[in-house]
Amino acid sequence: MPLTSTDDIVGPARANTSGVGAFNVVQLEHAEAIVAGAELAQLPVILQVSENTVRYHGGLAPIGLASLAVARAADVPVAVHLDHAESPGLVREAVDLGFTSVMFDASKLPYDENVAATREVTDHCHRAGVWVEAELGEVGGKDGAHAPGVRTDPDEARAFAAATAVDALAVAVGSSHAMLTRDAVLDFELITRLREAVPVPLVLHGSSGVGDTDLGKAVTAGMTKVNISTHLNKLFTCTVRERLEASPDVADPRKYLGPARDAVASEVARLLGVLAGV
């Protein structure tokens, strides 16, 4: 299955009131696990590489090209997405490498500056046929728009989407990044209002903190692209820890990274089913 446009995955899902899983790649094993899970579920998936991960690897090309290679070898539709990029230069590099979408995060800027910067990025990406996600309010922080009581306003979201011409919008509805427990309280009524107000797919960030039942409710209410990272990283790390504790003399990293990769693949398959309602 060739590398797939993000719009060809997210667009039909929105039309069918279904959810799409977008999972973050930190190292090659993550990309392999996520695609293996999608193949198990026989459902499309989005691989995401964040700007933080780019810094970890010292550049986009090593992890980006690896993710693209894994995507191109898949037997289900796989898109490759740049997540939470604050640098327009990094966005341009992702476009040049062949990423199918980017998430440009200018949310720390004042509203008018956010609009102007995002519109410039959107224009560049659209000329290259690349799908663009943005966010309104500081969804990307550990608190920001996810601090208690902070929510995205539907009228402002509608105006922002129109002014920037983005293809998807990340909104704050009660989830929070990097949660280790799955007990976030989502505002489903607000999700429905946002779905009615905004003509592009909505994106739920911080979904690691949301339980299965509420993930399904969020999709039914209007969320389409659902980002999950910490939940899988927690599972990956716990599996590695268990293997090392069971075999403290092991030297070959494949002996503990392989089982961690398999565990993540199984969970990805399960989560994709939850989001797709199957």
Give the pLDDT band (50/70/90) at residue 145.
Answer: very low
Q: Give Cα separations from 152 to 2, 10, 196, 224, 264 (angstroms).
A: 36, 21, 13, 16, 32
Question: CATH number for the domain including 156?
Answer: 3.20.20.70
**Phi–psi pair at 65, nearest 5 degrees:** -65, -35
What mean pLDDT comes out for the span 3-29?
Answer: 97
| Catalytic hit among 7, 83, 105, 214 | 83
Note whether residue 237 is domain-resident.
yes
Residue 1 placed within a domain: no
Q: According to the model, what pLDDT value does residue 5 have?
A: 97
Identify the DSSP state of 140: T
In a domain, 177, yes or no: yes
Q: Could you tell me which residue, 42 or 211, shows the higher pLDDT?
A: 42
Q: For 49-99, what is each residue's pLDDT tens digit?
A: 999 999 999 999 999 999 999 999 999 999 999 999 999 999 999 999 999
83 is catalytic: yes
If pLDDT is split at 50, 70 and 90, which confidence band does 144 have? very low
Q: Which domain range does residue 36 map to?
A: 6-276
Q: Is the pLDDT of residue 139 over 50?
A: no
Pairing of strands 131-135, 202-204: unpaired
**Cβ pair 34, 68 in contact under 8 A:** no
Is residue 203 predicted with pLDDT exceeding 50?
yes
pLDDT at residue 178 is higher than 60: no
pLDDT for res 152: 83
Residue 36 within any structural domain of the chain: yes
- SS3 track for 191-206: HHHHHHHCCCCEEECC
Residue 51: which of 33, 30, 75, 26 has the closest Cα?
A: 26
Single-letter amino acid, residue 84: H
* Cα–Cα distance for residue pair 233/254, rounded to 1 Å: 17
Considering the domain boundaries, does residue 227 fall inside one? yes
Query: What percent of the chain shows pLDDT beyond 90?
Result: 77
The number of distinct structural domains making up the chain is 1
- Burial code (b: 16+ CB inside 10 Å, e: under 16) for 76-94 equals bbbbbbbbbbeebebbbbb
Neighbours of 243 (CB within 10 A): 17
